[in-house]
């Protein structure tokens, strides 16, 4: 009898071996990741995809069971992150709260954001509010993980308790810490967005595709995060699989950019494409105008680029030193002011960025301002800027093939 009890405590009903436990853990944690990225993030927060009600509720149930997170709260906090990104009101910005705080204390930041009930009501509109949400999921959020703990213990004994503990830390570490923290601090950028979002890796399979965080910030409503040929988004693969069997409907993906040749004056198609791809326009400017100009400055000075301008300050040119410390920003501004050509390019970039962000203007006024900007660029006498203007005028949207 005693040995039976001890066996149960050690291995539960299943008496599973190491590999069985490992497979269960991998499946369970990936289900949690998929529930967050597919349901909470891409579907509920950004409306990029709709799921069949049965599948949507399966995601919602698993989220309640494995994380205790309430749909409306998660969605509201994430939407506020986008609305207030990289400001003091951002719930988890490493720029203001520090990378160590966001990485290690992401759960505390989430709880603090949950307590802002006015924000939850403002940003959480449109989330489920049915009977089971009101009477179970939102009313008893901790009952889910408690039930999962009981099930894990019954099936796997104390080994299940250990797995449960790791499961409870899974989303806080990978989502709150890695994505929200490192995803705004380290990695590569496809798009020069107005925040610091980065892609952690081109192959998003471990965190459901959330690794492609810069792509997501460039096109928040897109259900597909992989936007380059070499990138992979496992979450998008799952969406396409569900779509193939009638369980998902893709609503939005990032529009594709086309460049028409021999367009002499920006037109309505140019303006539409620029509004959709303003971050691509800024990226093209950085890569095709500013970088060549910096290399030319180094050549003229007979110095290596890193000696001419340290890497940190070169990166600061992208956004006028917004994320630099005050002394570094002042150093960059002084350096730019002493070089007329670089100063002209920085001023042109700033005017273009302001034009694309001025959404309060009507379409005709915006188009006139763009045409004026192109005329000034062409009259600048700077070849790289003239070439950029010629390419910019040809921007247009093409049909998207998901």
Decide: 32 and 59 in contact? Cβ < 8 Å: no
Kindly report, residue by residue over 135-144, the tens digit of the pLDDT.
999 999 999 9
Decide: 61 and 33 in contact? Cβ < 8 Å: no
Q: Are residues 216 and 267 in the same domain?
A: no
**How many C-beta neighbours within 10 Å does residue 380 have?**
16
Q: What is the CA radius of gyration of the chain?
A: 25
Residue 359: per-residue pLDDT: 62
pTM comes to: 0.91
Residue 400: per-residue pLDDT: 54
Q: Are residues 198 and 75 in the same domain?
A: yes
**Residue where one domain finishes, among candidates 225, 250, 275:** 250
Cα–Cα distance measured from residue 290 to residue 275, given in angstroms and rounded to the nearest whole number: 21
Instruction: Give the three-state DSSP class for 50.
Output: strand
Cα–Cα distance measured from residue 373 to residue 37, given in angstroms and rounded to the nearest whole number: 40
Task: Please give the tally of structural domains in the chain.
Answer: 2
Kindly report, residue by residue over 69-88, the tens digit of the pLDDT.
999 999 999 999 999 999 99
Q: Which two tokens stand for residue 265?
A: 């004056």
Q: Are residues 267 and 241 in the same domain?
A: no
Q: State which H helix or E strand residue 358 sits in.
A: none
DSSP of 78-93: HHHHHHTTTSTT-TT-
Q: Are residues 64 and 121 in the same domain?
A: yes
Kindly report, residue by residue over 14-67, the tens digit of the pLDDT.
888 999 999 999 999 999 999 999 999 999 999 999 999 999 999 999 999 999
Q: Are residues 245 and 265 in the same domain?
A: no
Q: Are residues 342 and 377 in the same domain?
A: yes
What is each CA distance from 388 to 62, 264, 265, 299, in whole angstroms? 49, 13, 13, 21
Q: Tally the residues of the chain.
A: 402
Cα–Cα distance measured from residue 207 to residue 233, given in angstroms and rounded to the nearest whole number: 9
**Residue where one domain finishes, among candidates 230, 250, 270:** 250
**Residue where one domain finishes, among candidates 210, 229, 250:** 250
Would the pLDDT of 371 be above 80?
yes
Q: Are residues 265 and 197 in the same domain?
A: no
Q: Are residues 267 and 242 in the same domain?
A: no
Q: Tell me which residue of 377, 319, 66, 48 sits closest to 197, measured CA to CA.
A: 319
Residue 320: per-residue pLDDT: 83
Structural domain boundaries enclosing 277: 259-398
Q: Are residues 281 and 208 in the same domain?
A: no
Decide: 198 and 172 in contact? Cβ < 8 Å: no
Q: State which H helix or E strand residue 398 sits in.
A: strand 395-398
């Amino acid at each position: 009898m005693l040995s039976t009890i001890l066996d149960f405590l050690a291995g539960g009903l299943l008496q599973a071996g190491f590999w069985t436990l490992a497979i269960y853990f991998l499946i369970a944690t990936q289900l949690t990741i998929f529930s967050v990225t597919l349901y909470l993030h891409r579907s509920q927060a950004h409306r990029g995809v709709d799921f069949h009600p049965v599948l949507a509720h399966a995601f919602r149930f698993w989220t309640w069971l494995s994380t205790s997170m309430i749909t409306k709260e998660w969605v509201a906090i994430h939407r506020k992150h986008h609305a207030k990104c990289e400001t003091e009101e951002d719930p988890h910005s490493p720029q203001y709260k520090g990378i160590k705080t966001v990485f290690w204390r992401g759960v505390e930041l989430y709880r603090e954001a949950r307590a802002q009930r006015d924000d939850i009501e403002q940003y959480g509109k449109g989330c489920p509010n049915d009977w089971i949400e009101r009477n179970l999921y939102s009313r008893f959020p901790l009952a889910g993980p408690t039930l999962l703990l009981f099930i894990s213990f019954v099936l796997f004994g104390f080994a299940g308790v250990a797995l449960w503990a790791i499961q409870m830390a899974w989303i806080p570490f990978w989502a709150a810490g890695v994505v929200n923290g490192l995803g705004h601090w380290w990695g590569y950028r496809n798009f020069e967005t107005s925040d610091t979002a980065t892609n952690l890796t081109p192959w998003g399979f471990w965190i459901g595709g959330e690794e492609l965080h810069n792509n997501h910030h460039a096109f928040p409503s897109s259900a597909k995060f992989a936007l380059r040929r070499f990138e992979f988004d496992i979450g998008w693969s799952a969406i396409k699989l569900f779509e193939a069997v009638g369980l998902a409907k893709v609503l939005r993906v990032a529009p594709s950019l086309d460049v028409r040749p021999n367009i002499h004056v920006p037109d309505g198609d140019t303006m539409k494409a620029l509004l959709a791809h303003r971050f691509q326009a800024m990226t093209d400017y950085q890569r095709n105008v500013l970088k060549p100009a910096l290399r030319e400055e180094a050549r003229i000075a007979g110095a290596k680029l890193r000696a001419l301008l340290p890497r940190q300050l070169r990166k600061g040119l992208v956004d006028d030193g917004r994320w630099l410390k005050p002394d570094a920003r002042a150093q960059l501004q002084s350096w730019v002011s002493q070089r007329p050509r670089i100063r002209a390019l920085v001023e042109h970039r700033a005017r273009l960025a302001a034009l694309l962000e001025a959404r309060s203007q009507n379409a005709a006024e915006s188009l006139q301002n763009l045409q004026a900007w192109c005329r000034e660029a062409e009259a600048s006498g700077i070849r790289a800027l003239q070439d950029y203007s010629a390419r910019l005028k040809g921007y247009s949207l093409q049909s998207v093939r998901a």
